[in-house]
Amino acid sequence: MRRVALLGSTGSIGTSALDVVRAHPGRLQVVALAAGRNRELLKAQCEAFRPACVSVGSKEDADWLRAALSHRPEIHWGAEGLLACALHPDADTVVAAIVGSAGLASTEAALRAGRRVCVANKESLVVGGALMHAAALAGGGELLPVDSEHAALHQLLDGRDRASLREVRITASGGPFREWPLARIQAATVEEALNHPTWKMGPKITIDSATLMNKGLEVIEASVLFGLTADQVGVTVHPQSQVHAMVGFADGSYQLQVCANDMRLPIQYCLLYPEQGPGPVAPYAWEEARTWTFEAPDLDRFPCLALAFDALRAGGTAPALLNASNEVAVAAFLEKRIGFWDIQACNRETLAALSPGPAGSLAEVLDADRAARRHAEGWVRTRA
């Protein structure tokens, strides 16, 4: 039985993870749930799963939950609450599904405490990848990627001799603007950018999918997870989102991982690994006629992807600078304070203005994160 602490339980990944738990009552049990502001949904989840430990964003909501619940779990709040859930002694597995760099400290702490951490929070790998590896090494923790492309790569590379590996490729749906001309992309509205063709996700990652910054963050994530250089990670646009990743070998051949585009599959892969089993998603329907297409990404129309490769090559805190700037720019776009094309401009400007330093400690990456946020917020103010 795996005992699961779920951080970000009220989000898109969090609710999918609870579906997976429901499908495996004999193998998975929820012992802790943490969320931000959606106290009504958290309350309903607590009533359904009866966790021993719960955390919510604010003290006020923690008090509300204490009064509203019909059972008496430990109730925490804020950043300390996330840590209390991640480190709860009954939990051996943590699903890190908080959005943004707010998820960094709890992911690191769980790895250092020897937990299996199923990481959806790609920002913690982009910002502090080396630190996450060091924490896992020091504490005996195990890091498994929930992102569908990286779970696919994990599956493809598992037990394989790396000497024959030439490159890996992750696929991108191309987002809602894949076929749009540059001028139309530049003027895209929030509503248009939130209209993702193949995945239903939280707002931040949906905007990142429209700019292809999500794929850029995933390139950095793949490099961190599998110890690959920027030249060994490629991106192929595949609008149907059925092939999630490919591994290329020295002889020029490839293996591909295929499954439905449903996040419950990679979540289940991580939670049950190395075992597998039937879950809430039907097997791939090969009897249906389908067309799969593949194309190269257009870096002129989607410059955020190129910026991510630049940051990966620059190394040190460059990915942290890019990630923080992007979080600020995407939030400002969602608030309609800046335009869609300003997101890439803000990120480009922040990377140009701030020099990356070493990323050897949590303090160093969090300093870089703060500096980039300050810079990007200043840039946004000049545009808004």
Of residues 81, 28, 78, the one with CA closest to residue 54: 81
Instruction: Indicate the residue whose CB is closest to ligand NAP.
Output: 11
- Min CB(182)–ligand NAP separation in Å: 26
Closest approach, Cβ 2 to ligand NAP, in A, equals: 19
Helix (H, G, I), strand (E, B) or coil at 56: strand
DSSP 71: S
C-beta of residue 54 within 8 angstroms of C-beta of residue 86:
no
Q: Which is nearer to ligand NAP, 104 or 156 (CB)?
A: 104
φ/ψ of 281, rounded to 5, equals -115, 135
Alpha helices by DSSP H, 32-121? 39-49, 59-68, 78-86, 104-112
- Nearest residue (CB) to ligand NAP, 186 versus 242: 242
Q: Which is nearer to ligand NAP, 206 or 349 (CB)?
A: 206
CB of 78 to ligand NAP, least distance (A): 7
Taking the C-alpha atoms of residue 35 and residue 298, their distance in angstroms, rounded to an integer, is 37
Least Å distance between CB 99 and ligand NAP? Answer: 4
Please, are residues 311 and 368 in contact by the beta-carbon 8 Å criterion? no
The DSSP H or E segment spanning 21 is helix 12-23
Q: Which residues contact 374 (CB under 8 A, 6 or more apart)?
A: none
Q: Applying CB under 6 A, which residues contact ligand NAP?
A: 8-14, 34-38, 57, 82, 97-99, 102, 120-123, 147, 199, 201-202, 205, 263
Q: For ligand NAP, give the closer residue by CB, 40 or 231.
A: 40
Minimal distance in Å, beta carbon 218 to ligand NAP? Answer: 8
Alpha-carbon span 306 to 351, nearest angstrom: 12
User: Whole-number minimum distance, CB 55 to ligand NAP, in Å?
Assistant: 7
Nearer to ligand NAP, 169 or 264 (CB): 264
Nearest to ligand NAP of 112, 150 (CB atom): 150
- State which amino acid sits at residue 105: A
